Amino acid sequence: MLRVAELIQSEIANMVMRDVKDPRVQHVVITRVEVSPDLRVAKVYFSRYGENQGNAEEMEEGFKGLERAGGFLQRKLAERLQLKSTPRLKFFFDHSLAYSAEIERLLSDVRR
């Protein structure tokens, strides 16, 4: 399961970067993928990088872009990964990048 999750993460990250033309996913980063034990569902966690990485509106736009591209991503995954069945993709916000940036900012303020 872990190897499949890593492979899915790598493939989706590459496709988002190269193949998805939706501008809403321009700054999206795929942070991790969790696959169900039966390999039917893949939870795809994403975040955004850049100035507005923690902005709720920007995250929502990224989510909508990924949801819109979900069918395309799943079809491409089926082509690239020779699996018995391709997991259904579900997208979730991963706030860990924004959280760690905020902690880093607070630590920087304390040091000054």
Phi, psi at 27, each rounded to 5° = -110, 20
Return per-residue pLDDT of the chain as tens, 112 residues. 899 999 999 999 999 999 999 999 988 999 999 999 998 999 999 988 765 555 778 888 989 999 999 999 999 999 998 888 889 999 999 877 777 777 888 999 898 8
CATH number of the domain to which 102 belongs: 3.30.300.20
Boundaries of domain holding 47: 2-111
Taking phi first (over 0 means left), then psi (-120 to 50 degrees means alpha), and beta for anything else, what does residue 50 get? Answer: left
Rounded Cα distance between 89 and 67, Å, is 9
Domain count for the chain, please give it.
1
